[in-house]
Amino acid sequence: QEQLFEIHTDETTLGAALQKLNLLEGEEGPYGLYVTAVNGITARYEEDGSWWCLYIREEGNEEYTMAVTGVDTTELTAGCGYRLKVEK
């Protein structure tokens, strides 16, 4: 299941923008925000081995690559695309 959102925000990070719109839930962990749900869809590694993975598409590229930052430290950049996907 894939859902696309176009978001306009004054927030500077992806996590803050998604939390402000109530699209993201998570818990603070040792490495930042541990995402537990996106748009009401839950993934919990402790329960079934699933987790939310962040992918970023840089402006001018067609491919998404796995982010090296978490949602709470990923700075928003105009023209980029962001994808959160459940992985196992």
pLDDT at 1 exceeding the cut of 80: no
Q: What is the arithmetic mean of pLDDT over 55-67?
A: 96
| CA–CA separation, 15 and 38 (whole Å) | 11
Beta carbons of 12 and 48 less than 8 angstroms apart: no
49: tokens are 């081995």
**Alpha helices, DSSP H, located in the chain:** 14-20, 45-48
Residue 36 pLDDT greater than 90, yes or no: yes
pLDDT digits (tens, 9 = 90+) for 9-35: 999 999 999 999 999 999 999 999 999
Residue linked to tokens 């196992």: 88
Residue pointed to by tokens 């998570």: 26
Considering the entire predicted model, what is its pTM?
Answer: 0.92
- The Cα 72–Cα 16 span in angstroms is 7
